[in-house]
Amino acid sequence: MKKILVLGGGIGGVEAAISLAKEFKKKTDYQIDLISDRKDLFIYPLSIWIPVGKRTPEDVSMPIAEIAAKRGFNFIQEKVERILTAENKVITSSKEHSYDYLVVAIGGAKLKPKGVENTLSICGGGDEAVRIRDRFNALVEKGSGTIACGFSGNPKDPTAVRGGPVFEVLFNLDHFLREKGIRQNFKLVFFSPSEEAGKRLGEPGLKKVQSLFVERQIEPIMGKKITEFGTDGVLFEDGTKLETDLTIFTPGMQGNPVLANGDLPRTDAGFIPINDFCQVEFPGTAQHKPSNCYAIGDNTAFDGPEWRAKQGHLAEAMARNTAKNIALREEGKEQTATFSEHLNIMCVMDLGKEAAFIYRDRKRAMAPTGKWAHWSKLAWEKYYKLNKNGKVPNAPV
Ligand SMILES: Cc1cc2nc3c(=O)[nH]c(=O)nc-3n(C[C@H](O)[C@H](O)[C@H](O)COP(=O)(O)OP(=O)(O)OC[C@H]3O[C@@H](n4cnc5c(N)ncnc54)[C@H](O)[C@@H]3O)c2cc1C
């Protein structure tokens, strides 16, 4: 019996386990195990509606055990503590697991700038999104306040930034306050140390965000380095302070700290370098260079255009390619599935009752906006859940 071990039950890991189960369906001598620390698959793109009360954490979570039972893989809820590729072994909080192939999809972690504990991030999962909702609701009850939303990157890796969801939360808070008729009592601020936050979205996407700031009276503070976050606001390098009642901030990303305990190669920012087949790239000097290790999704470092980004649809494309490549190798063939042709920015940036469909690839960039785009995000929610449960086929990504 050959064992394929997938680590991480997020968008990438769950899709990898599903795709592997599909590829090896007719073969009885393969076992596919997915290890994750949380019992649920958390659908991050939908969590942007938690702060305005349109969704709960339960609405945007799917029990992995149920998906596993329907799609034909094993789910093991354990926390990975060490990955030892020299021994084909993964050590978790309770046991050791050996493998023939390994697929690492444990996501990234956030940098910790000074005073970040005084802020809340939309990228921190269900509990943190609920804390944003509760703090926002308290301000709505009070009737006025200053809310600042911002993000920054990681100078060691240009892909380690998460700006789209921060814009979505900001525009959804604005929409909520307008619907209540109390927007004029609130000051909304967007801040980022980058001069052109959102540039990665492409020219039309950047222009759209900038015009929305004007239309919706959101004050931008851009190009000012952040020194520290306090309980009552943000301190900037030029000595100025933005007083806030609520600071929502997403720092740049770095690699998952668990990787430091093992022998997988890591970039300066802590991500796993991979090639176009999603195979881990061990450095030329490494004595041990296994070919049976793959990594996908947010925990990877990969080449491509300077605007490339870590996104959910890319994690899914990487997952499907990895499954295909492992299946090809097991048939004694060369692996052929590459993900570089899937490198694009695709983001339905929700604005409340409409959305901007932001798209960028090597040839084009666009940002059409309308109610239809908001409905398309709602349709994606239905599709995604049905798809993971095996009720509708994969949409092309
Ligand atoms: C708020 C938000 C909105 C987003 N919106 C969009 C969007 O609209 N479109 C888009 O394409 N992308 C979007 N993204 C990005 C997208 O969600 C990520 O790129 C995607 O989730 C990456 O998937 P992943 O499987 O690599 O990592 P994750 O989804 O982070 O999953 C990692 C998994 O590993 C588990 N894990 C971590 N450490 C361990 C450990 N030590 N042991 C065991 N398990 C562990 C975690 O619990 C988690 O289940 C958004 C992200 C956020 C945060």
Average pLDDT over residues 7-12: 98
Whose C-alpha lies nearest to ligand 1, atom 30?
107
- The atom of ligand 1 lying closest to the CA of 14 is 25
Residue 285 — pLDDT band, cuts 50, 70, 90? confident
Whose C-alpha lies nearest to ligand 1, atom 44?
36
Query: Which residue among 39, 104, 106, 342 has the greatest number of ligand 1 atoms within 8 angstroms of its CB, and so is best to mutate?
Result: 106
- The atom of ligand 1 lying closest to the CA of 250 is 53
Q: Which whole-number Å values give the CA distances from 58 to 44, 163, 239, 367, in the listed order? A: 12, 24, 42, 31
Query: Which residue among 76, 201, 298 has the greatest number of ligand 1 atoms within 8 angstroms of its CB, and so is best to mutate?
Result: 298
CA of 35 to the centre of ligand 1 (A): 15
pLDDT tens for each residue of 313-346: 999 999 999 999 999 999 999 999 999 988 999 9
| Mean pLDDT value across the chain | 97
**pLDDT > 70: what percent of the chain?**
100
Report the relative pairing of strands 101-104 and 108-110 from DSSP bridges.
unpaired
CA of 122 to the centre of ligand 1 (A): 12
pLDDT tens for each residue of 355-377: 999 999 999 999 999 999 999 99
Tell me which residue of 324, 323, 320 sits closest to 396, measured CA to CA: 320
Which residues pair with residue 349 across a beta bridge?
356
Alpha-helix runs per DSSP H in the chain: 11-23, 64-71, 126-142, 164-180, 203-215, 312-330, 371-388
Ligand 1 binding residues, C-beta < 6 A: 8-13, 35-38, 44-45, 47-48, 79-80, 105-107, 122-123, 162, 164-165, 256, 258, 297-299, 310-313, 315, 347
Predicted local distance difference test score (pLDDT) of residue 397: 62
- The atom of ligand 1 lying closest to the CA of 78 is 43
CA of 25 to the centre of ligand 1 (A): 26
Domains in the chain, start-ordered, CATH in brackets? 2-109+253-343 (3.50.50.60), 111-252 (3.50.50.60)
CA of 362 to the centre of ligand 1 (A): 25
- The atom of ligand 1 lying closest to the CA of 122 is 1
d(CA 215, CA 207): 12
On whether the CB atoms of residues 139 and 147 are closer than 8 A, the answer is: yes
CA of 242 to the centre of ligand 1 (A): 31
pLDDT tens for each residue of 28-63: 899 999 999 999 999 999 999 999 999 999 999 999
Predicted local distance difference test score (pLDDT) of residue 27: 87
Predicted local distance difference test score (pLDDT) of residue 180: 97
Tell me which residue of 383, 386, 389 sits closest to 397, measured CA to CA: 383
Task: Inform me whether the pLDDT recorded for 165 exceeds 70.
Answer: yes
- The atom of ligand 1 lying closest to the CA of 80 is 42
pLDDT tens for each residue of 177-217: 999 999 999 999 999 999 989 999 999 999 999 999 999 99
CA of 313 to the centre of ligand 1 (A): 11
Would the CA dihedral through 383, 388, 392, 396 be positive or negative? positive
Task: Inform me whether the pLDDT recorded for 396 exceeds 80.
Answer: no
